[in-house]
A and B are shown apart, each in its own frame.
Chain A
């Protein structure tokens, strides 16, 4: 089990040197006792022991030994890093190899003590991971859920503190959090215990509920939707402008995600230039409503939005026509090319007189409805929610329509779809056009939210983020888009230490999702069936024992 240990050791080196450990070290999980950075390292040790034990067959003693060994190897690697740092100046190469990091890794001890210490701690924690792998799931699951709940509370403590702000909740707040610091030990214990016990008792509770007479399913759904709506309406009020701002951004990405979902998720057309349509929507609203230098019409927002949607739709069709005959990865690159061309043209001096070059279009007024101005994020939030709801409804209706089925058919096989009488040209152009129109709605709101539009807001990164969120959420699934937007856009905004590492995590998430759960978090039923049908096909003969082990392990 050296290999597992070495792999996790390499990962430990990477997260330490890339600054992730130190960044998370600033966040207390238990005030004065345990930081998120330490949790990351401990988690890696546990995981190494767990993986090693899972991969080793045979009696429990052997598996425990494997876990111990793997953990010790990870500890050895960390110790090696500490020792290396005492010999050479790592910081001249790795900017994040700071004294604070090594203070943490070596627990403040000199390297000759820290190294054996790390091996020892690593071995013990690895053993713990192995015990987890050998123990029955009924015991491990509640513990994991409890730990996850406690960790979640600690990581999003800013949000929790915001919610606990009212006077009446002060005792709860003081019990859970040290003033100006992290969560208290007793608070964390309580959260851990409550969620662990709840998880452990859940099967029993559910069994009883099944026998009792509850509300009929229809009524229950109504109750849940009402609760959901109230929650949606109350969130920005309870959370304040910051939370509202984050939610608006989540809403904008949801709009874009719904649009791209039509193209990638339903029609299978991978579009990497998608941000162009968002930009076109934003610029259209900007130019039509701006009271500044580049605005020429001084329209109201409400008049400009339909135009923006129409312009985006037309742009989607126009950019769609040339790429009709291109498939798969060539399509991805071609659309990426189009997206970059649009951005570079907008940025260039050649179009500066009309579009404002790199400074963009300024002085876009906020929308006003019957004398009410949507000024702050708390007001714009409602606008975004309504827009997302309308777009989601349209997307939902489209999905099971004749058109939606045609899209899914061309996703599966263009040639067969054409043979079945689907007009590829019009169906594909509708996918591009409608997808672009959805993004245009997002762009329109973005323009009034920021109050100005400039080309730097429309980087390729946005296209990638949107792609990432629909993939993480589950391709082709509308709830998946929303979940993806909340997880990938909302959570990192709330977890401020995380900011710098967001894209690192996106990249890793894309790879990990494709390797482990290609259907996403909340998949559409069809996608799930399809991607797992693959696994039932006869497995190709593994060529090496290592490969066989990997295949057996997953």
Chain B
């Protein structure tokens, strides 16, 4: 709310808008507290179940975090929301299905599960990279100096175009992703039974995020990216090819999203042309939560959102006596999105960029 602080007079009076916002805040807090107390008093869930919720949330959050990286990196550089990023995520996973299915049919998938997983990740990452770069080239680059609303509208258009393009190419049905025998069942980790898929997803997401972070922080290209996000013109004066860095940013964000797509397919075991929309919005929430433009923030935001979304329905809503609270899982995520955008648009970790936005 840096902008608001600047615009309003120094002596703040309580307008009806502020009162409304406070009421909104209080209502949400009340629902959360009341629900939590109610649930805990009911004691319907065992400790083990809570741990399951958290682990599932972490696995899902890892996926969100990987997607969120693309949003946050692009936003850091271009100050625009790549609305089509959810579709970039979908394109990789959906295309890799056509590699996974023959692999599973021939038995290769279960004979060499690790190799297959790496292969699938590579395929998905390269397809998503291609799509991300293409979108940048066609829909964003010609409009870099246009008024702000213009690239946002093309982004929405690109998002829909991609969804229905893949629907036209691959059909409109759900495709069941083949399962890895190796990843069925549970592993005992620190005395807790953890579903193997979730452990694999969490581990892969962590490794990928760590690698990406190191890439951005340690390599020369990463340095150039940070420079461009700091100040495009100054970076160009320092001899950095800004266009190339922007393409690279889209490529890396796309690759992360593609990998996330495979992890998503591991957890949910199916792909669909519309699968990118909701994870895309949630990953955006994660990016904003962590402070958009901030890479570790996106990771933390993703994990946090995943856990809240997984624990939330049971913890906040069950205690209120709401039937079938799991239907409202997305409502929790979207409420968080709206709350963050309204009350703390700079996110939990980001301060720097928020000031710049104003």
Contacts and interface: CB of A to CB of B under 8 A. Distances in A.
A334 B324 contact: no
A543 interface: yes
Interface in A326-357: 326-330, 332-334, 336-338, 340-341, 344-345, 347-350, 352
Contact of A334 (B241, B327, B342): B342
A511 interface: yes
Nearest to B336: A337
B297 interface: no
Interface in A472-508: 500-501, 503-504, 506-508
Interface residues of B, number: 62
B149 A268 contact: yes
B235 interface: no
A336 B281 contact: yes
Interface stretch (B36-44, B155-163, B219-227): B155-163
Which among A268, A326, A341 has the highest number of chain B CB atoms within 10 Å? A341
A340 B169 CA distance: 28
Interface of A is mostly: helix
B331 A329 contact: no
B328 interface: yes
A415 interface: yes
Contact of B156 (A325, A327, A510, A534): A510
Contacts of A543: 241-243
B1 interface: yes
Interface in B128-185: 138-139, 142-143, 145-154, 156-165, 167-171
B15 A504 contact: no
Nearest to A471: B153
A540 B243 CA distance: 13
B98 interface: yes
Which among B4, B17, B153, B327 has the highest number of chain A CB atoms within 10 Å? B153
Interface in A435-484: 460, 464, 467-468, 471
A18 interface: yes
B323 A94 contact: no
A352 B24 CA distance: 24
B154 A514 contact: yes
A505 to B, nearest CB: 8
A230 interface: no
B218 interface: no
A328 B148 contact: yes
A323 B168 contact: no
Contacts of A330: 288, 341, 345
Given A329-B80, A329-B152, A506 B142 contact: no
B169 A507 contact: no
Nearest to A318: B20
A326 B168 contact: no
Contacts of A66: none
Given A323-B342, A326-B345, A507 B157 contact: yes
A334 B338 contact: yes
B337 interface: yes
B154 A341 contact: no
B330 interface: yes
A531 B252 CA distance: 33
Nearest to B19: A321
Given A324-B17, A337-B341, A515-B143, A510 B170 contact: no
B134 to A, nearest CB: 10
B5 to A, nearest CB: 10
Contacts of B20: 321-322
B187 interface: no
A333 B161 contact: no
A334 B284 CA distance: 11
Nearest to B81: A329
Given A329-B148, A336-B281, A337-B337, A348 B169 contact: no
Which among B17, B143, B156 has the highest number of chain A CB atoms within 10 Å? B156
A334 B142 contact: no
A108 to B, nearest CB: 24
Given A328-B148, A334-B337, A18 B165 contact: yes
Contacts of B49: none
Contacts of A321: 17, 20-21
B7 A425 contact: no
A96 interface: yes
A328 B345 contact: no
Contacts of A504: 160-161, 164-165, 167-168
B335 interface: yes
Given A326-B341, A341-B331, A350-B324, A511 B168 contact: no
Given A323-B342, A326-B345, A349 B324 contact: yes
Please provide the 6 A-B residue pairs with the shortest distance between their CB atoms, ordered closest to farther.
A510-B157, A507-B161, A18-B168, A507-B160, A504-B164, A95-B171
Given A333-B341, A503-B164, A504-B168, 9 more contacts: A94-B169, A326-B341, A326-B342, A337-B281, A337-B341, A344-B334, A506-B161, A511-B138, A515-B142
25 contacts: A18-B168, A268-B149, A270-B149, A321-B17, A325-B342, A326-B342, A327-B3, A328-B148, A332-B81, A333-B284, A334-B337, A334-B338, A334-B341, A341-B331, A341-B338, A344-B328, A349-B324, A350-B324, A503-B164, A506-B161, A510-B156, A510-B158, A510-B161, A514-B143, A514-B146
